[in-house]
Structure 1
Amino acid sequence: MHAPTSWFNLLTLAVLFVEIRGFISPHPNSHVDKLSSLHSINKGQMVQSRRYSSSVRTDNPSMSAVQPSDEWEVDVYSRPVKDARGKKLWEILICDSTGEFKHCQALPSNMVNSREVKKAIEKVIDDAPVKPKVVRYFRVAMQNMLNIALGGLDMQVIPSRTTYRLLEWLEQREKEVYPQMDGYNPNMVNPPGLDIRTPQTLPDALVADQYAFVALPISYFRNGEVSAENIGLGKLCPIDPSLPDDTMVQGVVIVTRRAKALAAWMTGLEVAFVRADLKKKEMILEVGISTQFYMVRFNENQRAEAQVFENGKRQANGIHFLAVQKEFDEEEVEGFWLLREASV
């Protein structure tokens, strides 16, 4: 069991006794200056809730210097640049999960194979201040090659879209580095493909009883109110420092009597993000490198709440959260994931 946390008590209040400020898309029957109620529902339906804000603690914890991590993130792929011979530029990008350690290496197109990639990564490992125990990569297209290249090394290799520092670095290079290089061609940027995946159904034993949309101030994550020490199972992605301090981070709370089992199961999934499919009126859990799970269907009235959730994600550069708890009035959370939806 996890010790009760003041921020989670406030999250509970956000669900049960919602104080509205900056209220967005209220339900037609609600009043922005009064408390809003949740409605118990049958399994497979969405609980309705309201947005809130509350006071923020001022006792900011001291921050220690960031140390390199033993969890690495790797990308091997072509860039929108051609060399003097008209060949695509390929790169190996490696960073750790803190972003403190970074390595960039150009790779001739005739050396893009598992043997050469393995040799290059082994050299980086030998020279690194901290050796990796875990390596994550996010590209489906490179899955076979990277599994072969990394498979014989003494570390865990995980396909995952939680390569947050690597994706930030790629975004920065796509904006500031590649356009300045000779041979740059923006038309070579690979557009996202058509998504034809079909969500899997959650195991019956893990289907939740209730769901709710809620929100927390971004300051809770910046000042340490929510930290790796008090979230139970789960993980926190890095927060974009450019986001305003008054940003509200949208989230989904899953309530189930099997909260502990569900949270434990989710820790092995590499939870990537949650999204609302507004056309199909479904909540989808994205995990791993390409897997989807169907969570719940919402009705037309609840579609407005799902729209607010998606709008809030966009305003926060994809940042949102997923929480798992046994009851709405529990004083502890069994699992909590701060997530970022990003184009990969």
Structure 2
Amino acid sequence: MASGLAALLDDVAGIAKIAAASVDDVAGAAGRAGSKAVGVVVDDAAVTPGYAMGFTPDRELPIIWKIALGSLKNKFVFLLPGALLLSAFAPWAVTPLLMLGGAYLCFEATEKLMEAVGGHHPGEDLSELALSSEELEKQKVAGAIRTDLILSAEIMAIALADLSDRSLAVQAAALALVGLVITVGVYGVVALIVKMDDVGVHLSQRPDAFRRGLGRGLVRAMPHVLSLLSVVGTAAMLWVGGGIIVHGLHEFHVDFVPNLVEGARHAAAAALPAVGGVAGWIAYAAASAVVGLTVGAAVVAALLPFHRKH
């Protein structure tokens, strides 16, 4: 009996070690894969707060919650199974799909820049005014979830590209972990951003001067913070989308543009050796954004005849 129990305990211990190793493997793979998608995460966190703007404070968190649930549905119902099917049957399609998504990000950013330069379109504003608050909320949430689908697809595809040498089970678990952690992190930050002005109002009503001043400062700062986030979101779309295009061209051995971008990185790092890593990264991001703007402008030009028909 004792020897049988000892053997059982040895088996349980062995299974536990295997499980622990698998968990470590999944966590490590998820961490490495998720870090590659950080640019898209920045984009997501910067873009999303705009969808909750213009609503009463009591609707801001419910709107973010609806978008977060839609994001989880995008990742776990559509993108995760699709990513695993791609990995199993068509791994060659990951890079072209990444580039297609990157081109869409470039297109979105370029349109935002064109709208910023040309001003708002009154027809769009009037169409929103014609909607009830409930209809407008549904429209904004649906738009946010559509944008999230593209960004989440980029995140999952970038992560999948870094997991190509792992087993299908590890890929599935790592992608699920990446999707969950990024969704919780992004929408947690977004919820904090959109409620920061309410925190400021609350602090401004406190009795002591320090908290009152801090609260008033937050209230005054939030419109500028949200404007800055809009700029950062647009820049991130160009940088991320352009970077994906550059990486895809390199994968297909079309190296003229990738060599130019890498050359900008090395030139900046050599010119500022004291901060070479940072300077190189900034130069790479800026060059990628230029590529993104070029691609976005080309897509806008290609779609212009279709806009004119409508």
TM-score (norm 1): 0.18
- Larger-gyration structure (1/2): 2
Q: Taking CA–CA contacts closer than 8 Å with sequence separation of 6 or more, which of the two structures ends up with the larger relative contact order? A: 2
- Whichever structure has more strand as a proportion of its residues is 1
TM-score (norm 2): 0.20
